[in-house]
Structure 1
Amino acid sequence: MSDDGSAPAYETSASMPNNYGTTPLAVDVHGDKHDPASPTYDSKERDFTDRLSRQPSFLEHLADSRDSQFPVQNRGEIERYFHGPRNMTKHSKWPIVMRVQGSIMPQMILPLFLVGGWATLITCISHFYHNLGINNILLTVLGFVVGLSLSFRGSTAYERWADGRKYWASLIQTSRNLSRIIWVHFGEREGEEGKVDILRKRSAMNLILAFAVALKHKLRFEPDVAYEDLAGLIAHLDTFASQAHDRNVMHPHQRHYGNPLERHLPIEILIHLSAYIESCVRNGTLSLAQYQGQALAMISTLNEILTGTERVLDTPLPAAYSISISQISWIYVMLLPFQLYKFLHWTTIPASMVAAYIIIGLLTIGSEIENPFGEDVNDLPLTTYCRQIAKELDIITATPPPNVEDFMSRPENLVMFPLSQEGYPSWKARSKGDIRAALRAMSILSPSREPTLDESNISTRTMSFSRNTTESV
């Protein structure tokens, strides 16, 4: 926040990363990448890039702390193999039973050593001093209870993981629909106002991406605004989150709650999106009530997604259940050496470790996937989802809204394919009776819509059927 109490005016530069998290090359108005050193590089574009590079960047003061902001990308190979990022295909050559990335093996090392030491102690005492073996009836009685507990723990944890995936799938779908409506159905006025409309539509679609990125950071307890994938999208907004940001103390990687004003960025983005829709209604670029209702309904859907993901994040399994299930599992595992020694003797030690891996492993999996929004290997790849949304928005805005007259009337439009290889202009020159006869022939001659007939047979049979139908009429 600046000294005068106003929100900081964040400026962008050519060194600012794009939506995909990488530093872009110079891009012209058509989206083509150029090398500034090449002789074909336009001088105006070079001057524009030079002016941008001289502007103070909002992200320049983050250079010293970027390693701590993005710990996943800067981890070593060994640490990344056990903790992420999520990239199961990287080790897909190994059989799934031998994979480590994504498994709970690293977390099981200490518990297995603990159980192994405990089983060794009980076995040695029973062998050299006094037999501590007991009746194995507890294996049956307690095993049933442990099985029910672990089943309940795993099912509730996976339900949360699945709910998180459903909400993000809904976010991607809503982003696609809303961006499509904005780009195609929001009008563009003539002259200079039309240029303004294009820029505003692209800005609104950037806000859709900003909502997804802000939601990702919020779910990861990262309520700041100084993240590299977020700052360029929301720096121009007057938000409480920007006002709460301290530019002199940069620790956006720390998970904290801090000022409660910092935690409302997704909601504030939705407010700005609603304000944009309202402005389009007032200036006449969104005049149809149908599209007005659809756009506002999608804003409501984004708000429902925000609320749903907060429910998944803030409503874990009650502590009483978690503690009790953990205690039941560990009691069962610690009693195993007493019950197994009478039958297995020294084999009690590896048998106890195997049983502990199964039981404590299932318990650990429940804890691992209970919060699906983190950065571990088994968590949802939220960054990938945001990158997917960004790419799709770029595809949508890459060309103007299609003109029906342009793409419908092209000769390449084989309207009767596979019945006929003739294009739209040829069929337009025919009579309505011929067209309807051909449509009927398609259902008779090629019901499977597989182009198995050669072109000459198609043309002959189509015209013969057309003449017969016309004469009968």
Structure 2
Amino acid sequence: MVQYNPKDWITFIFRFHKSDTFRQLLPMMFVIGLYTFTICFFEIEYWKLAENSHVKNISIMHGLLSFVISLLLAYRTNTAYERWWEGRKLWGALVNNSRNLALKLSAILKSDKDKDFFKKIIPSYAEILSKYLSNEDVSKMLFDDLDLDIDHTKHQPNQVAKRIFQKINDLYLEGKISGDQLIIINAEVQSFTDICGACERIKNTPIPYSYSAFIKKFIFFYIMTLPFGYAFTLGYYSIPVVVFTFYVLASLELIAEEIEDPFGKDANDLPTKKIASNIKKHVEELL
């Protein structure tokens, strides 16, 4: 995730980060500029269309459609940000629940061996969930000397959650945890699976294809028709105007595409690995 100072305007304006949409759209902006130049050349120099040509009135269509496209893009970016923010809230809940479980177990358990088990397995759940959501392989090196055999063909976070509950149940059967204490810590154990399921819902449910495809086609045809009307009023100055319009509209769509899956590896995705490392640090302090 990109760390930045929101008050530093100069950096925002004159510095282009590798995740900036300007770099991604630069080849297409060049093509749009060349296309606009071609349209202007034919209308002004070759065809020499008169001022009363009906082609000049095509800009009326753009005035009508600009409101529609602004609404579509606003809804698109808001929907994508909601998915990003929900993912952040879920990982914030995972941090809090991991701390709460560690706090309760530190007070309940008396054996250092039992505490060491939870000291390693609670952070392991966050680390495995982070890798699972980003489609990374789970390495056994994550677990140090913890006897945790992960079957890569099965749901990996569920296997860790199962081991946590099995250990707690064993401690209950051994009399190290009372029935009341078991009920107290059950909410945190259950929340791990709830958070995982909510993250999977975000990851596995993309924006409907028809909606995303329609916006892309709308932007494309909107931009492709802009030079026909602007050539009369702006002449060759319509080239930077059309290119800038394309940059703005296409950038909004690219930003929405990037943040709608907050668990990937893009520059603006959630720092789940960093959050998982913070969970490990806090749990080790508590236990």
Q: TM-score, normalised by structure 2?
A: 0.91
The corresponding residue for 2:199 is: 309
**Which residue, out of 138, 147, 150, partners 1:225?**
138
Q: What secondary structure, in the 3-state scheme, does the structure 2 residue paired with 1:205 have? A: helix
The aligned amino acid for 2:100 is: N
The corresponding residue for 2:165 is: 274
**Which residue, out of 100, 115, 119, partners 1:205?**
119
Q: Could you tell me how far apart the structure 2 residues matched to 1:160 and 1:336 are? A: 33
The corresponding residue for 1:52 is: none
- Indicate the structure whose relative CO is greater, using CA pairs within 8 Å and at least 6 residues apart: 2
The corresponding residue for 1:134 is: 56
Contact 1:216 1:382 (8 Å CA) reproduced = yes
**Which residue, out of 388, 395, 398, partners 2:285?**
395
Deviations 1:372-418 (A, max 9, x none): 11122111111110111111122213xxxxxxxxxxxxxxxxxxxxx
**Which residue, out of 236, 242, 249, partners 1:359?**
249
**Which residues in structure 2 correspond to 1:325-404 (within 5 Å)?**
325-397=215-287
Q: Could you tell me how far apart the structure 2 residues matched to 1:385 and 1:99 are? A: 28
The aligned amino acid for 1:108 is: L
Q: Gapped runs of 5+ residues in structure 2?
A: none
Which of 1 and 2 has greater Rg? 1
Contact 2:37 2:239 (8 Å CA) reproduced = yes
Please state how far the C-alpha of 1:298 moved relative to its aligned partner.
Answer: 1.0
Please state how far the C-alpha of 1:94 moved relative to its aligned partner.
Answer: 4.5
**Which residues in structure 2 correspond to 1:73-472 (within 5 Å)?**
86-88=2-4, 94-101=10-17, 102-130=19-47, 131=49, 133-135=55-57, 136-186=59-109, 188=110, 197-222=111-136, 224-226=137-139, 230-232=142-144, 236-241=147-152, 261-262=153-154, 264-287=155-178, 289-397=179-287
Q: Could you tell me how far apart the structure 1 residues matched to 2:107 and 2:2 are? A: 36
Q: What secondary structure, in the 3-state scheme, does the structure 2 residue paired with 1:134 have? A: helix
Contact 1:134 1:338 (8 Å CA) reproduced = yes
Q: Which has the higher helix share?
A: 2
The aligned amino acid for 2:213 is: I
The aligned amino acid for 2:56 is: I
Please state how far the C-alpha of 1:172 moved relative to its aligned partner.
Answer: 0.5
Contact 1:119 1:349 (8 Å CA) reproduced = yes
Q: Could you tell me how far apart the structure 2 residues matched to 1:171 and 1:110 are? A: 41
Q: What secondary structure, in the 3-state scheme, does the structure 2 residue paired with 1:311 have? A: helix
Moved more, 198-207 or 154-163: 198-207
Q: Gapped runs of 5+ residues in structure 1?
A: 1-84, 189-196, 242-260, 398-473
The aligned amino acid for 2:90 is: Y
Contact 2:81 2:260 (8 Å CA) reproduced = yes
The aligned amino acid for 2:82 is: E
Please state how far the C-alpha of 1:273 moved relative to its aligned partner.
Answer: 0.1
The aligned amino acid for 1:393 is: V
Q: Could you tell me how far apart the structure 2 residues matched to 1:295 and 1:121 are? A: 69
Moved more, 126-135 or 352-361: 126-135
Please state how far the C-alpha of 1:305 moved relative to its aligned partner.
Answer: 0.2
Q: What secondary structure, in the 3-state scheme, does the structure 2 residue paired with 1:95 have? A: helix
Q: Could you tell me how far apart the structure 2 residues matched to 1:336 and 1:149 are? A: 19
Please state how far the C-alpha of 1:233 moved relative to its aligned partner.
Answer: 7.0
Please state how far the C-alpha of 1:93 moved relative to its aligned partner.
Answer: 8.8
Contact 1:123 1:345 (8 Å CA) reproduced = yes
Deviations 1:152-181 (A, max 9, x none): 211111111011101101111111101111
Deviations 1:398-455 (A, max 9, x none): xxxxxxxxxxxxxxxxxxxxxxxxxxxxxxxxxxxxxxxxxxxxxxxxxxxxxxxxxx
Please state how far the C-alpha of 1:199 moved relative to its aligned partner.
Answer: 2.0
The alignment's C-alpha RMSD in Å is 2.0
Q: Could you tell me how far apart the structure 2 residues matched to 1:240 and 1:164 are? A: 26
Contact 1:112 1:353 (8 Å CA) reproduced = yes
Q: Could you tell me how far apart the structure 1 residues matched to 2:30 and 2:131 are? A: 36
The aligned amino acid for 1:126 is: E
The aligned amino acid for 2:226 is: L
**Which residues in structure 2 correspond to 1:63-78 (within 5 Å)?**
none
* Structure 1 pair 140–209 and aligned structure 2 pair: CA distance change class (3 A): same
Please state how far the C-alpha of 1:354 moved relative to its aligned partner.
Answer: 1.0
Contact 1:160 1:372 (8 Å CA) reproduced = yes
Please state how far the C-alpha of 1:185 moved relative to its aligned partner.
Answer: 2.0
Deviations 1:270-297 (A, max 9, x none): 000001111111222212x332112121
Q: What secondary structure, in the 3-state scheme, does the structure 1 residue paired with 2:139 have? A: coil
